[in-house]
Structure 1
Amino acid sequence: MAGPDAIDVHAHFFPERYLDLIAREGAPSQARIDRSDPKGPTIVLKETRTAPLDATYWDLDRRRKAMDRVGVAVHALSLTSPMVYWADGDLGQRLAAAVNDAMSEAHRAYPDRFVGCATLPMQDPKRALAELERAAALPGIRGVYLGTNINGRDLSDPAFAPIFAGCEARRLPVLLHPLTVIGAGNRLGRYYLNNFLGNPFDTAIAAAHLVFGGVLDRFPRLEVCLPHAGGAMPYLVGRLTHGQKVRPETKGVAKRPFDAYLRRFTYDTISHAPAALQYLVGLVGADRVMIGSDFCFDMGPARPREIVVRGAKLSARDRARILSENARRFLRL
């Protein structure tokens, strides 16, 4: 390999100022930072906690070296769980602003290596819209990162329509990530099934709400990326399309059959199976798929290029699209 060439649209980022703000002001929301693990700080929110966070999440020099080792040229930075939806309005907005400012600073320091996907305090749509307007003007902000639900509220909720309108008007794509997934703590509580199964099913639920709830019809130029190779949705598209034909619950909002919306979404490559990625490419087209790594969690592929360049049976043209061309267009790089 001559040099890093991949653009990773699913790369997580926890700036230190976000952690520090939780440490200082998170207690009223039952949030704190536990620094007892030598592997790194842990975010504790009520009864849940993150894995220890290695400094690679915020140290840009370490991150660039890690990217170089696996042939990744650009990270689209994004905050992930627990995000900011748990915080009261003012704190939520300040947490989001801290993350977005740090992303923009990373871009200014290394404009060829980092862009940012803004975090918004979606639990308060008015504050979210204000932060969208502010963050969209920051150098390097190229998208918006949203949970698949907002404290249990689905993305088809009319309260979120102004956010989608703002993203569409600013040509900022929306990238989704599972958060507070359905069934967590019940039958998914053991064997890490909340991640293995809960995450892909929550992504499918979010996609179904965007289609059946009419969001994609209302905002025809809105770009939406589904993580983890679309979650369960691409593999249930036949069931969803059939159900729409025969069930009255789906009538009256979506203008087209469910499967006609497949190419309204883009998808990352985190399928962990070459055959699954080949299926996805065959279903939606190579021009709708982009590299993702879940950097740097253990549930992501350590070498995200490999499934594209050596795993799946893809043409050289399709590999080039998936490695970088699609993301350059999607993120306006």
Structure 2
Amino acid sequence: MDLTTELARAVGVDAHAHYFGTDLAASHSAFPDSRWPRLVTNGSAGRLMLGDTPFRTVRSALWDVDERIRELDSAEIALQVISPVPVTLAYWAEETAAAHYAAATNDSIAAAVDCSRGRLAGLGTVPLPYVDAAISELHRAVRDLGLRGVEIGTQIAGHDLDSPALDPFFAAAASLGATLFVHPTDGGGGVVRRSGQPYDFGLGMTTDTAVAATALVFGGVVERHPELRILLAHGCGTFGWVYPRLRLGAQIWNQVDPAHLDTLLQSLWVDSLVFDPEHLRLLAHRFGSDRIVIGTDYPFIAGQLEGVRDFLHEARDVGALAASDVSRIFSHNAYSLFGIADPPPFEHPEAPTSRAVGVSK
């Protein structure tokens, strides 16, 4: 069986994609602070706003489930795991408003999943600076709404992920079997000494993710909670490259067994959003090919969703991935990560489309 046939039989899963429903607009009046994210739409175009300040221009695939599914069909992706737009993880907010906004976001994502006829799965959000409230909303999101877990930031209101205050939340996530998707929340700003673009996007976000992974591994989080399912965005940023130096430093100054660190590291999952197929070689070497899942950042970065098959083909062609690993990364790894027992049936473009959620008329 050639690789193309193997991939055609596989059920593609995009594990890193974002959603912002227009149904959240009905909740916005309850959040008077000018920093709250909101969506303004005009036909097929839209703008994400922070209060009255434009944040970024977006297209209707961000909120229109029908359009999203059509594009999944074209890319031959059978399942997409949607998560909040990272800027909506408003860790600066006071507790009551933060809890209400998280609940409204989770309700919106669950509604999109419910009307997608099995083509979407969801990750929600929690008001994580307030751990008790975060645990309560995590339980609701997973048990009541059927979400697969939640997206969390790389840093929580000034605290890194190995802060002892967050430990009860990680324990709760482990006990629920909830997947935690770690993603930068501020676009890489304030992480490195240079600001603006391309520094924030290219260096800030990847460094931010690496700091989060360092906290998880070297700060003891994954050791204390071995059942945790943690996915890190953007191929875990620069962590795969700097890990040997971190490991050596921990061995010299902290007398940590490097083999033990290797075991802890390989409990993490990473996505494939690294923009160079050669980089998948290091991810497979560092984390294991069974710990890589597709990530496209849909619908924000053009070409990623429709190009993911070619990306994996090229990784195979340059020897960055073994042919036997490609279909695993294309689909099967994500089913394991998100605890999905059986792939949903793939519906081709000629099938009837689903009802859209929150589409502006």
- TM-score of the superposed pair, with normalisation by structure 1: 0.89
Change (3 A) 1:99 1:182: closer
Change (3 A) 1:257 1:117: same
8 Å contact from structure 2 (residues 80, 119) kept in 1: yes
1:99 aligned partner: 105
* Alpha-carbon distance in structure 1 between the residues aligned to 2:297 and 2:25: 19
1:81 aligned partner: 86
Partner AA of 1:52 in structure 2: T
Superposed CA deviations along residues 273-295 of structure 1, whole A, max 9, x for unmatched, are 01101221133221111001001
Q: Which runs of 5+ in 1 are unaligned?
A: none
* Alpha-carbon distance in structure 2 between the residues aligned to 1:236 and 1:260: 16
Q: How large is the RMSD of aligned CA atoms in angstroms?
A: 2.6
8 Å contact from structure 1 (residues 111, 140) kept in 2: no
| 1:327 partner SS | helix
Deviation, 1:88, is 2.1
* Alpha-carbon distance in structure 2 between the residues aligned to 1:5 and 1:323: 7
1:132 aligned partner: 138
> Which runs of structure 2 are paired with 1:1-333 in the superposition (5 Å)?
5-22=11-28, 24-31=29-36, 33=38, 35=40, 39-44=45-50, 49-83=54-88, 84-180=90-186, 184=190, 187-248=193-254, 257-298=260-301, 301-302=304-305, 303-312=307-316, 313=319, 314-333=321-340
* Alpha-carbon distance in structure 2 between the residues aligned to 1:220 and 1:267: 17
User: Displaced runs of 4+ in structure 1, greater than 6 A?
Assistant: none
* Alpha-carbon distance in structure 2 between the residues aligned to 1:220 and 1:33: 37
Superposed CA deviations along residues 230-258 of structure 1, whole A, max 9, x for unmatched, are 1100111110110101224xx68x99643
Change (3 A) 1:109 1:46: closer
**Bigger mean CA offset, 104-113 vs 114-123:** 104-113
Higher relative contact order (CA 8 A, sep 6+): 2
Partner AA of 1:89 in structure 2: E
Over the matched positions of the two proteins, sequence identity in percent amounts to 30
Partner AA of 1:309 in structure 2: H
* Alpha-carbon distance in structure 2 between the residues aligned to 1:196 and 1:9: 21
* Alpha-carbon distance in structure 2 between the residues aligned to 1:36 and 1:12: 16
Partner AA of 1:288 in structure 2: R
- TM-score of the superposed pair, with normalisation by structure 2: 0.83
Deviation, 1:186, is 6.9
Change (3 A) 1:35 1:185: farther
Deviation, 1:262, is 2.1
Deviation, 1:161, is 1.1
* Alpha-carbon distance in structure 1 between the residues aligned to 2:295 and 2:314: 16
2:356 aligned partner: none
**Bigger mean CA offset, 313-322 vs 144-153:** 313-322
